[in-house]
Amino acid sequence: MSSKQQGHLQKKLQPRHITFMAMGGVIGTGIFKGSADTIGLAGPGVVLTYILAGLLLLVVMAAMTEMATVYPGRNMKDFVREAFGQRVSFILGWLYCFLWMSVCVIEIVAAGSFLQYWLPSIPLWVLSLACAAVIILINLMSVNSFGEVEFWLAGIKIAMIIVFVILGICVVFGIIKGSGAAPGLSHLTGHGGFLPNGWTAIFSALLVVTFSYGGSELIGLTLTETEHAERILPRIVGSFILRVILFYTLPILVICALIPWNQLGGTSSPFVQVLNYTGLKGSAHIMNFILVTAVLSAANSGVYGATRMLHSMASAGEAPAALAQVSRRGVPVQTLKLVSVILIAGALLGFFAQDQLFSVLMAVPGFVVLLVWMTFCLAQLKLRPVYPAKPTFRLWGYPYTSGITVICLAVIAMLFLFDKENRVSISVCLIVLLVLVVWSFLWFRRKNR
């Protein structure tokens, strides 16, 4: 079959591919750089915030898993369309694409800036374009090969986090000698206590932490490329959530145990500061390698998310039909071309306005993630009474768990709306949302003529 003909996505993703792909979207700059902000808000007790956000994420993922067992062979956007119709599905789909395109631009420009540490004479835009080219080439592979590459990219940074935690614990208890005396656990309870800014700080930090977990829902887009997804997904979700929480909470506990929370600098990654504290030679190079791998993995997952969502929308008549075309390898090539153009344009835009680009785009994904998660829970609440078949996996405590999660996410979204630091980003999000609402009416009016 020619790449210009419409084919089908291939069911070649394995459980380990799905898990690591989702983790690749979650574990990125949010933990390696954003952890400084969350620790500054709540001190060592911010780990409670990560656990609370993890519980919200668990409900969202469980709701999506339940719907997957009832509607096999369909992805997360299909569930929304089943619950609320094509117009809401249209808006959510394009909003989700906007989310991942923003993330991808951020990540490739960040990757270019990290590479400049080793290649300072090469302009940022050149390095960013090179990173974009690598990501595009990876996404041109067959879905099985893509899954393998993402498995190893995500695996590298996960392995590095494990090494970091083990090394940190050894220094904390004096098994390995650092640059100072072994602090033990004194820093976790000293300097104002475990919750130096009080219990309310846990909820203040929830705003940032929830955004860090964005990307987990990528599992919902792999359903159409996974054999027997309705049986595999329930097994994956529980262990996935546990891993995500551990990969966030353990490093933060190590960071706060080695360096007092109020002495962490805001200019560099807390991970770099800890590695410097250990006195490990070449720690800056090691950390830079981790950061490059992390952002490339996140960008790779982001391109996958954007292309598969666009393909799903085109197949459902919510985007131009040409975007549904699939190559022999099962790659939605037309959507990849579109995302590639945006990726390259973003890299060049970063050359002209890097600081402004980051300040506007950084807060965009978080707000969109909140809307997406709320929509999944609302879809499950609406569909459960009218399921065409009995689900083989059920969300516990229905309808209370879904309802409480929606309320919590809505409160976080409202806090985000009234945050003065995010006014520009929120304005961008609301303008995009308004445009999509108007566009949805025009799109379906034209289609219904």
DSSP codes of every residue in 69-106: HHSTT--HHHHHHHHH-HHHHHHHHHHHHHHHHHHHHH
Distance CA(256)–CA(189), nearest Å, equals: 10
Domain tally for the chain? 1
> pLDDT: is 264 or 281 the higher one?
264
Minimum mean pLDDT range among 12-16, 109-113, 125-129: 12-16
Those residues with Cβ within 8 angstroms of residue 58's Cβ, 6 or more apart along the chain or in another chain:
237, 238, 241
What percent of the chain has a predicted confidence (pLDDT) above 90? 10
Alpha helices in 140-263 (DSSP H): 143-172, 186-189, 200-212, 229-258
Q: What is the pLDDT of residues 321-347, one digit of tens each?
A: 888 888 777 778 888 899 899 888 888
Contact 256, 172 (CB under 8 A): no
57 assigned to some structural domain: yes
What 8-state DSSP symbol labels residue 449? -
pLDDT given for residue 73 in this prediction: 74
pLDDT given for residue 272 in this prediction: 73
Does the pLDDT at position 2 exceed 50? no
CATH number at residue 400: 1.20.1740.10
Share the mean pLDDT of the chain. 79
Contact 28, 184 (CB under 8 A): no
What would the 3-class secondary structure string for 262-330 be? Answer: HHCCCCCCHHHHHHHHHCCCCHHHHHHHHHHHHHHHHHHHHHHHHHHHHHHHHHCCCCCHHHHCCCCCC
32 assigned to some structural domain: yes
Terminal Cα distance for the chain, rounded: 33
4 assigned to some structural domain: no
Q: What is the pLDDT of residues 52-87, one digit of tens each?
A: 888 888 898 888 888 888 888 777 888 899 999 989
Highest mean pLDDT among 9-18, 167-176, 395-404: 395-404
Contact 10, 142 (CB under 8 A): yes
pLDDT given for residue 4 in this prediction: 41
Let me know how long the chain is: 449
Does the pLDDT at position 5 exceed 50? no
pLDDT (mean) for 159-186:
79
Distance CA(385)–CA(402), nearest Å, equals: 14
Residue among 364, 363, 346, 344 at smallest CA distance from 354: 346
Q: How many CB atoms lie within 10 A of CB 428?
A: 18
pLDDT given for residue 400 in this prediction: 93
Q: What is the pLDDT of residues 363-417, one digit of tens each?
A: 677 788 888 899 999 999 999 999 998 888 888 888 999 999 999 999 888 887 7
1 assigned to some structural domain: no
What percent of the chain has a predicted confidence (pLDDT) above 70? 79
Minimum mean pLDDT range among 28-42, 106-120, 242-256: 28-42
Does the pLDDT at position 300 exceed 50? yes
> pLDDT: is 205 or 409 the higher one?
409
Distance CA(109)–CA(132), nearest Å, equals: 9
9 assigned to some structural domain: no
Is the previous residue joined to 399 through a cis bond, with omega within 30 degrees of 0? yes
8 assigned to some structural domain: no
pLDDT given for residue 402 in this prediction: 93
396 assigned to some structural domain: yes
Does the pLDDT at position 228 exceed 70? no
pLDDT given for residue 186 in this prediction: 81
pLDDT given for residue 162 in this prediction: 85
pLDDT given for residue 34 in this prediction: 67
> pLDDT: is 152 or 238 the higher one?
152
Distance CA(320)–CA(331), nearest Å, equals: 17
> pLDDT: is 411 or 27 the higher one?
411
Domain that holds residue 155: 15-447
pTM metric for this prediction: 0.82
309 assigned to some structural domain: yes
